[in-house]
Amino acid sequence: MTRKLAGLLALCMLMALLAACGGNGANKPTNGGNTPSTTAPAKDKEQPSGEKKVIKMLGWKQSTNNTVIESINKKFEEKYPEYKVEYVTTAPDDEYKQAYKTRVPAGEVDIFADLSAMRLSPSDWTPGAKVPDWQQFIDNGLIQDLSDQAFIKNYNEADIKDGGTYQDKVYAIPAGKVAMGGLFYNKDIFAKYDLKVPTTWSEFINVNEVLLQNNVTPIAMAGKDKWPVKLAAMNLQAQLLADGNQSEFIEGLWKGTSKFNDPDAIEVLEKMKTIQDKYTINGFMGIDYGTLTSYFTGEKVAMMVNGVWEAGAVQAAKPDMNFGYFPLPATDDPARIKLIGKYDMTWYVTNNGGNTEGAIKWLEFFSQPEIYQEFVQATGFLPVQPNIATTEFLDAEVQPYMNNFEVAYEIKMINRDNIGQHLEAEGIHTEYLAPGGEFKTAKELADVQQKEWEAAAPK
Amino acid sequence: MYPFGRGVTRLWPYLLFALPMAFYLMFLLGPSIFTVIYSFTDVINIPGKAYQFVGLDNYKDIFFAGNSAERIDSIKRTLQFTFIVTIVQNGLALLVAVVINQKLLGDKLYRSVFFLPVVLGVAVVALIWTLMFDPINGPVNKFYSLFNYSDTFFGSFTNSFGYIIFVQIWMYMGHSMLIYLAGLQSVPKDLYEAGYIDGTTRWQSFKKITFPLIAPAFTVNILLSIIGAMQTFDIILATTDGQFNSRTMAYDVYKETFRGSLEMGLPSALSVVQFLFILLFVIVAIQLLRKREVEY
């Protein structure tokens, strides 16, 4: 009898616990459905300072970005004392993707930035393509529609259309553009050996050869994190694939008219192999992105493959350094030189975090030209609002190439689901080439890529 | 007979255990059951979203999708990892434990030195070895250069997994060693004395006395190594982040769950497969190890 009673008691306690837990979980989606202003007071426990409504913001660690966003948050809180911004950051890239994938659906975020613009949305010519996270979020009603907000007009129409519009509605604000398909170069070293900024592939090879003859290691690249290698490769892709029309190449992949082992795609791999084998610092496959810049500022190399966002870090590490930036040329026709890039930091406002209204207020505050100007100056992004001054470095080194600016392969490419590792993350992965990798020739890698592409085709 | 008294007070132990039991059911058993259920569905990580049962589709994806060769590689790598780590780690740990147990001068110091990596934690260990294995300025490559050899270590497609195995063994060897030491302390000294009178050699007394009598420690260590090795993903995450041919099953589960798409079906199926593998290995190991445990 007593045993039964004990069991019953235990069961009761368990039920009570489960009910409490289940109740919380069940509340979340309904919160998201209601208007945020009515649910906000119910979330009192998340408001430590009593009256203040918390705006939960998620971002990734990058010192210059974090500093300027914190400063903007401070100004925002001064202007709107009823709000408090809680800015949480995680490690960049994969860690960050992990963070927003778990926290946004759980209703723990009011505003967050994606690492790039809306992209990779399946088209009618891409049957069975991977549906990106942002699209699943929007399709399931987690993201706030911003179409009617007045501050949208502060931005260039084309950029909002390319970077934040889905099914004719604005869901996101791209905070800026970055160029990333070029190399930083040490102007003093270039001057010492009488070298000019190369505008063709042959000139580029010549620069490297002259440096080698003078015992200067030409290039540093961060192979350990893989993606920094992709930056250089993507600049070659933009110029070489389908004679400089990579969109046609990508569509051709899906339709079967172009292949990863076509001569133009192989040329990209071969030129990357030349750069990696001959001109890049020995053991670059062991260099991680965090230490890459120290090789450049420490003058161990004359050039560094990196995105323009790193200019601030270079200046901070060595204020007197005389450096520039140029796009990696792929052909011997200087007219075809291109610089690739992408939208960076695209803001989304969520529906289920509990303070949608505050998040929109923040975005409105952020979008004011004077605040936006501060942001762009600090991050070194290329502005997406008209009449915004950029940094000295961007004006001098990057703007001249902006006429031939193109969105990178990784942004244009729509990948297949369950794609193999030689094509994953919309990349071409030249790090698999020998000596670092297992493929002795570009052709071998290209054949494997094509095989993986076909294997992932929907059955 | 009634340690908690009679009457209602007898219920205390049940009440005390009800809470942990509830937590256990809620945070371990519940999610485990849901993982199995989810592995047969197309559920995505968005609350309130309806899902459907898709039968064995997720399992088919693991073994027959476009990139399934990589998953099979992960399984092979997991087995390789488990075998090497279990054998080498226990071999070394037993050797070190036996040596330290000889009442060496400063044996306490050796004990702490060998146990230190376990206390440090994965992040610190990974940092230490990332610095040691720095391909350009690292001390290990400077040492290698004496032999005209160099390596990119955690950035090498062919060798990175070997280095991960090395770090794993370096890290947990002390843990196994401590369990062996505890086992060795419990072996009655008079058995050795009896053996000494009978004229046993050192090897004989190890083989016939020490080894059989530390069988329980041996069983515990082997099981811990197998389970630990098959579940390892933290050291991989911290050193190569699954790149350079270093993914294992456990890393795949993590990667698919948190960094892949929002779909939860496939990672659930992967966890189930991983669980079955561990279960199989543990059952086989227990069968083999139980046989050699002796009573004295």
Instruction: Write the pLDDT tens digit of every residue in A323-369.
Output: 999 999 999 998 889 999 998 889 999 998 889 989 999 999 999 99
Please give the share of chain A, as a percent, with pLDDT higher than 90: 35
Could you tell me which of A232, A250, A170 has the C-alpha nearest to residue A412? Answer: A250
In this predicted structure, what is the pLDDT of residue A50? 59
Contact B154 A7 (CB under 8 A): no
Contact A286 B156 (CB under 8 A): yes
A457 interface with B at CB cutoff 8 Å: yes
Contact B17 A18 (CB under 8 A): no
Instruction: Using the predicted structure, report yes or no on whether residue A155 has a pLDDT greater than 80.
Output: yes
In this predicted structure, what is the pLDDT of residue B3? 65
Question: Which residue of B lies nearest to A15 if distances are taken between CA atoms?
Answer: B22
Instruction: Using the predicted structure, report yes or no on whether residue A49 has a pLDDT greater than 80.
Output: no
Q: What is the mean pLDDT of residues A299-307?
A: 92
A13 interface with B at CB cutoff 8 Å: yes
The alpha-carbon gap from B211 to the nearest alpha carbon of chain A, in Å, equals 43
What average pLDDT is seen over chain A? 84
Q: How far apart are CA A219 and CA A216, in angstroms?
A: 9
Higher pLDDT, B296 or A102: A102
Angle at B126 between CA B121 and CA B132, to 5 degrees: 130
10 Å Cβ neighbour count for A125?
A: 11
Instruction: Using the predicted structure, report yes or no on whether residue A21 has a pLDDT greater than 90.
Output: no
A438 interface with B at CB cutoff 8 Å: yes
Instruction: Using the predicted structure, report yes or no on whether residue A20 has a pLDDT greater than 60.
Output: no
- What's the pLDDT band for A36 if we cut at 50, 70, 90? very low
In this predicted structure, what is the pLDDT of residue B82? 93
Q: Which residues of B touch A (CB under 8 A)?
A: 10-11, 14-15, 17-19, 21-23, 25-26, 44-49, 61, 65-70, 133-136, 141, 150, 152-158, 241, 243, 258-259, 261-262
Instruction: Using the predicted structure, report yes or no on whether residue A458 has a pLDDT greater than 80.
Output: no
In this predicted structure, what is the pLDDT of residue A234? 93
Q: What is the pTM of this model?
A: 0.77
In this predicted structure, what is the pLDDT of residue A44? 42
Instruction: Using the predicted structure, report yes or no on whether residue A17 has a pLDDT greater than 60.
Output: no
Higher pLDDT, A238 or A132: A238
Interface test with A, best of B10, B19, B26, B46 (most A CBs within 10 A): B46
Handedness of CA A439, A444, A446, A451 (dihedral sign): negative
B157 → closest Cβ in A133, A420, A436: A436
- What's the pLDDT band for A399 if we cut at 50, 70, 90? confident
A451 interface with B at CB cutoff 8 Å: no
The alpha-carbon gap from B62 to the nearest alpha carbon of chain A, in Å, equals 10
Using a CB-CB distance cutoff of 8 angstroms, which residues of chain A are in contact with residue B69?
A: 420
A21 → closest Cβ in B26, B156, B241: B26
Contact B155 A224 (CB under 8 A): yes
Question: Which residue of B lies nearest to A425 if distances are taken between CA atoms?
Answer: B260
Contact B241 A94 (CB under 8 A): yes
Interface test with A, best of B58, B131, B262 (most A CBs within 10 A): B262
* Predicted complex: ipTM over 0.85: no
Distances (CA, A) of B246 to A137, A156, B80: 32, 45, 11
Question: Which residue of B lies nearest to A18 if distances are taken between CA atoms?
Answer: B26
A91 interface with B at CB cutoff 8 Å: no
In tens, the pLDDT along B195-247 reads 888 888 888 888 888 888 888 888 999 999 999 899 888 899 888 888 888 88
| Residues lower than pLDDT 50 in chain B | none
Q: SS3 string of chain A?
A: CHHHHHHHHHHHHHHHHHHHHHHHHHHHHHHHHCCHHHHHHHHHHHCCCCCCEEEEEEEECCHHHHHHHHHHHHHHHHHCCCEEEEEEEECCCHHHHHHHHHHCCCCCCCEEEECCCCCCCCCCCCCCECCCHHHHHHHCCCECCCCCCHHHHHCCHHHHHHHHEECCEECEEEEEEEECCEEEEEHHHHHHCCCCCCCCHHHHHHHHHHHHHCCCEEEECCCCCCHHHHHHHHHHHHHHHHHHCHHHHHHHHHHCCCCCCCHHHHHHHHHHHHHHHHHECCCHHHCCHHHHHHHHHCCCEEEEEECHHHHHHHHHHCCCCCEEEEECCCCCCHHHCCEEEEEEEEEEEECCCCCHHHHHHHHHHHHCHHHHHHHHHHHCCECCCCCCCCCHHHHHHHHHHHHHEEECHHHHCCCECCCCCCCHHHCCCHHHECCCCCECCHHHHHHHHHHHHHHCCCC
Instruction: Using the predicted structure, report yes or no on whether residue A415 has a pLDDT greater than 70.
Output: yes
The alpha-carbon gap from A28 to the nearest alpha carbon of chain B, in Å, equals 8
A18 → closest Cβ in B26, B65, B258: B26
Using a CB-CB distance cutoff of 8 angstroms, which residues of chain A are in contact with residue B141?
A: 283
Question: Which residue of B lies nearest to A104 if distances are taken between CA atoms?
Answer: B46
A224 → closest Cβ in B46, B47, B154: B154
A223 → closest Cβ in B150, B155, B258: B155
